Amino acid sequence: MTNGEDLSKTTYQHIPVMAPEVLQSFANFESVKTQKELRYFDGTFGRGGHYTLVKNLFPRLKAVVFDQDVTAVEFARKKFQTEVESEMLLVQHANFSQFSSEKWGLFDMMLLDLGVSSPQLDEASRGFSFYHDGPLDMRMNSTQEVTAQMVVNQAAEQELIRIFQIYGEVRSPFRVVRALVNDRKTNPFTTTKQLASLIERVEGWKRKGFHPATLFFQGLRLAVNQELESVESALPELIKGLKPGGRLTVLTFHSLEDRIVKNIFKNSIWGRPVHKKVIIPSREEEFSNPRSRSAKMRVFERSIE
Ligand SMILES: C[S@@+](CC[C@H](N)C(=O)[O-])C[C@H]1O[C@@H](n2cnc3c(N)ncnc32)[C@H](O)[C@@H]1O
């Protein structure tokens, strides 16, 4: 339980993105599902949406799941208590970059569904959103020291430009950074609204329905959580954690993240990417779940030696 909230009844829902495509990526195990226990690793458990779907398809699934957010871990242990107690599910508070095949063994199926979950975005106190005022936090792992507030108030001007240009994909963040560096001298930033208002003031609204702070917030979040770095360091180790014929499916939401996945999958000597082209959500899904819009899926299969 966190902040006295009953997590099993939480109203913050997370709709699993590209659910049919993710299940399809593991469909090659359907023919053996009654004969053997299949091992599944989920490095981004969230609210267990994908885990539940995979578990329904493979009832004899034995799973190890990670999440770096303690709220997700507490939720998992409570909601899936029966599976935890029967040792069919092991829940670990960890960053997936800490995965090692020596420690956790080999898996048939692995999944990373990157980025933040809807409960993280929707909860104002987590500080991810410019729509809900909250502390400028943005940590997925609340035991980590660096917060968005520290980055915004302490990073050098050049570093902020790099964060917004590279992670946020903002072409020209200079005016915002100049205003931010100037304002923080007398009035340090402490809330999401304060930062969003500054960006709104400097940039103005250029596209209807697209808040001018969107990409700046994305950049800051990726920097605070070192998201690209985690993916880059984790993927080679996750690949080593696949059994021969095992599959690793990755959902990304950022072009740089997708490029990292694409290159590591393409250049790995352990196996090959399953599809030539990246898989994207159906139009129906993009319409019904706007958070799926930037999703891209890639699947890697380890060779049978
Ligand atoms: C998009 S959500 C996953 C949702 C999940 N697939 C579901 O259907 O409920 C991403 C989750 O992964 C976690 N996460 C992101 N990066 C992580 C990392 N490097 N290590 C561990 N957990 C991570 C976040 O805290 C968040 O809970």
Question: By alpha-carbon position, which residue is closest to atom 1 of ligand 1?
Answer: 117
pLDDT band at 12; cut points 50, 70, 90: low
Kindly report, residue by residue over 236-246, the tens digit of the pLDDT. 999 999 999 99
Q: Which of 23, 41, 45, 70 to mutate to test the pocket of ligand 1 (most atoms within 8 A of CB)?
A: 45
So what's the pLDDT on residue 11? Answer: 43
Q: Would the pTM count as exceeding 0.85?
A: yes
299 with 288: CB under 8 angstroms? no
Residue list, ligand 1 pocket, CB within 6 Å: 14, 16, 43-44, 46-50, 66-69, 72, 95-97, 113, 115-117, 140, 230
pLDDT band at 305; cut points 50, 70, 90: confident
Q: Tell me the C-alpha distance between 25 and 301, whole Å.
A: 10
- 107-113 sheet: strands from edge to edge: 89-93, 62-67, 39-42, 107-113, 242-252, 296-302, 271-273
Q: Tell me the C-alpha distance between 198 and 213, whole Å.
A: 9
Is residue 34's pLDDT more than 80? no
Is residue 171's pLDDT more than 90? yes
Nearest to 183 by CA among 169, 199, 171: 199
Collect all residues with Cβ–Cβ distance below 8 Å to 260 and sequence separation of at least 6.
Answer: 228, 231, 232, 235
Convert 176-190 into a string of H (helix), E (strand) and C (coil).
Answer: HHHHHHHHHHHCCCC
Atom of ligand 1 nearest to the CA of 46: 27
Is residue 86's pLDDT more than 50? yes
Burial 33-48 (b: 16+ CB within 10 A, else e): beeeebbbbbbbbbbb
Question: By alpha-carbon position, which residue is closest to atom 13 of ligand 1?
Answer: 44
So what's the pLDDT on residue 2? Answer: 29
Kindly report, residue by residue over 120-159, the tens digit of the pLDDT. 988 899 999 888 899 999 999 999 999 999 999 999 999 9
Is residue 6's pLDDT more than 50? no
pLDDT band at 272; cut points 50, 70, 90: very high
**Considering the chain, what percentage of its residues have pLDDT values greater than 90?**
85
Pairing relation of β-strands 271-273 and 296-302? antiparallel
pLDDT band at 207; cut points 50, 70, 90: confident
The answer to which of 61-75, 208-222, 238-252 has the lowest mean pLDDT is: 208-222
134 with 127: CB under 8 angstroms? yes
Question: By alpha-carbon position, which residue is closest to atom 14 of ligand 1?
Answer: 44
Average pLDDT over residues 236-261: 97
Task: Round the average pLDDT of the chain to a whole number and report it.
Answer: 93
Is residue 268's pLDDT more than 70? yes
Residue 194: exposed, middle, or buried by beta-carbon count in 10 A (0-12, 13-18, 19+)? Answer: middle
Q: CA 14, 295, 52, 248: dihedral to nearest 10 degrees?
A: -150
Would you tell me how many other CB atoms lie within 10 Å of the CB of residue 88? 16
Report which DSSP code applies to 3.
Answer: T
So what's the pLDDT on residue 208? Answer: 82
Atom of ligand 1 nearest to the CA of 49: 8
So what's the pLDDT on residue 64? Answer: 98
Residue 59: exposed, middle, or buried by beta-carbon count in 10 A (0-12, 13-18, 19+)? Answer: exposed
pLDDT band at 206; cut points 50, 70, 90: confident
Average pLDDT over residues 177-195: 97
Q: How many CA atoms lie within 13 A of 158 on its CB side?
A: 0
Better pLDDT: 104 or 115: 104
So what's the pLDDT on residue 173? Answer: 98
Pairing relation of β-strands 242-252 and 296-302? antiparallel
Structural domains of the chain ordered from first start: 7-118+227-302 (3.40.50.150), 123-225 (1.10.150.170)
Q: How far is the CA of 147 from the centre of ligand 1 (A)?
A: 18
Average pLDDT over residues 164-192: 97
